[in-house]
Structure 1
Amino acid sequence: MAEVLKGKVVADKIKEKMKSDIEELKKNGKVPTLGIVRLGDNPDDISYERSIIKNCEKIGIEAKVFERDINMTTEELISLMEELNNDNTISGVLMFRPLPKHIDEGKVREALSPSKDVDCMHPRNLARIFEGDLSGFAPCTPKAAMEILLNSGVDLEGKNVVIVNRSMVLGKPLAMMMLNQNATVTICHSRTKDLPEVTKKADVVVTALGKAKFFDEKYFNENSICIDVGISLDEEGNLSGDIDYEPVSELVSMITPVPGGVGSVTTSILLSHVVEACKRM
């Protein structure tokens, strides 16, 4: 039976560190504040927004919501970014994406100050990671995956790591973070041949396909460390990861559950970026 790598353990450690930092900031008259930019009233966005605000309140971070019409122009959204850049009461900015198709997301990303880019939208923050500089704000989900591994005592040096995702949001930045720990990294995708053969030989497998229970026992061995980043609904309508958890957890060495794994750490990472941004102001 695998060791279950629960995200709550890692999230709680991050929150405790944040609470201490927030107390120090408040002694100096600073209050970490997250600006949330939402266009329209997408129910998923509103649900996520409520969750973030609730988490902010629990640890002493303020949250301000900037709700705008979904039909606003690129120029109007850029103007809002500039307004938030110049607002000294806002420590960091989170903008819900994807943006409406009529908006030039590239221009909007570049309009946000890298120093307030707590969700790693700005190309400059992303470029830092590819240069091996992790002093900026990294994408929250890959950073959460790394925190779980490191907190669990997994020494990545020399390990063979397979990441089944090649996006700029997850796979590629995570590969750079792994390389920074001296792991040997392989990125796989939909065109990878003999995927089970590739993943089965790896020490660490990170899955992020968004296909419920896609990865069964044939993709792993008894020493596999499995980090499941995917989340979707299975045939019964229940939240599920990419990995078929029940049978695979009987085989492998370590595994993250879904829900309760990487996702539960991601929000804590985001809020820790807000606190760090406030410290740097």
Structure 2
Amino acid sequence: MMAVVMDGKELAQVIKKNIMGQVESSDITPCAASVLVGDEPSSKKYVELKGKDCRSVGINFQTHQLPKGVSEEELLGLIDELNEDSEIHGIIIQLPLPQKLSAEKAIMRVDPAKDVDGLHPYNVGKLWLGDYELERDLVPSTPKGIMEFLEHYDVEIQGKEAVIINRSNLVGKPLAKLLLDKNATVTTCHSKTKNIEEHTKRADILVSAVGSRPEFQITEDMVKEGAVVVDVGMSYINDKLYGDVDFEEVKGKTSHITPMPGGVGPMTRVALLQNILIAAGI
């Protein structure tokens, strides 16, 4: 079987061109503000990437960096200021926060209309009640990007068995709801799931977002013939990026598969840009 390799880089570039056109023809200059606590290298890198992505399409981007020892009161005070600033349309709380700070409190403090990560209870509630459209509402970027991927490649979802290995608020839970709303039969697996391969082997659509290779990886014997395999997991081994899926081994058994890198990552990043435009009312 010749698998279709789902090219996230290429599709993201097409979407970015559309975003640039929307920004250029709008009277509004969209602006996103990132809140970064401490100087953890990977968090700093993610914020820099988000800033680069935003500027590349004409979105203004601010970074508000607070020291690691900042109090909760100071953090929430900064979020209040960003909420009140009418020139800022999107607020990104860079997670994880240092242990003594509550991510939940920080997320809940963000104005739901500026919550471009889609994590505020208001936006989560809209998603779970089915009161949303991906084109106009704030849904977490990775699930949103995956759904755009599947749609672009004409992957049939209705009536299919979808298995997601992840139950986080950022990926697994919202993606399960989005697939459910497209009439898939959804199974969510996690670290306490027994005999995980029994679930993966029956998946028509398999999404893996574990990120702990080599301890966990998807091998050929775990995949159904003709499955669609979406790799979200990221692991660095000797400074090289790997996904959850053994791409070369699994590819021949699938109908569609995402590479790593160049698959879900670019789609996640472009979905965040789409959310900033939604928040700006463009």
Please classify the TM superposition score into its range, dividing by the shorter chain length: over 0.9
Q: Helix, strand or coil for the counterpart of 1:154? A: coil
Q: Which amino acid aligns with 1:36?
A: S
Secondary structure of the structure 2 residue equivalent to 1:253: strand
CA distance in 1, matches of 2:117, 2:108: 13
Equivalent residue number for residue 273 of structure 1: 275
The equivalent position to 2:233 in structure 1, one of 215, 230, 241, is 230
Counterparts of 1:150 and 1:277, CA distance in 2: 23
- Runs of 4+ in structure 1 off by over 4 angstroms are none
% identical aligned pairs: 39
Partner letter of residue 63 of structure 2? V
1:255 aligns with: 257
Q: CA deviation at 1:56?
A: 1.6
Q: How far is 1:237 from its partner?
A: 4.2
Note the 1:175-190 alignment, pairs <5 A.
175-190=176-191
Equivalent of 2:63 in 62, 65, 81: 65
Q: CA deviation at 1:256?
A: 0.3
Cα pair 1:137 1:273 within 8 Å, conserved: yes
Partner of 1:49: 47
**Alignment match, 2:94:** 96
Unmatched 5+ stretches in structure 2 = none
Please give the alpha-carbon distance, in whole angstroms, between the structure 1 residues aligned to 2:209 and 2:45.
Answer: 22
1:78 aligns with 2:79: no
User: What is the distance in 2 between the residues matched to 1:10 and 1:33?
Assistant: 24
Q: Match for 1:218 among 218, 221, 236? A: 221
- Normalised by the length of structure 1, the TM-score is 0.94
- What residue number does 2:241 align with? 239
Alpha-carbon distance in structure 2 between the residues aligned to 1:100 and 1:218: 40
Supply the distance in 2 between the matched residues of 1:48 and 1:79 (Cα, whole angstroms): 23
In structure 2, C-alpha distance between the alignment counterparts of 1:70 and 1:211, rounded to whole Å:
26
CA RMSD, Structure 1 to Structure 2 (Å): 1.4
Say which of 102, 116, 119 aligns to 2:117: 119
**Which structure 1 residue ranges, 5 or more long, are not aligned?**
none
- Inter-partner Cα distance in structure 2 for 1:211 and 1:46: 21
Q: Under a length normalisation based on structure 2, what TM-score does the superposition of the two structures give?
A: 0.93
Shift of 1:227: 0.3
CA distance in 2, matches of 1:21, 1:137: 18
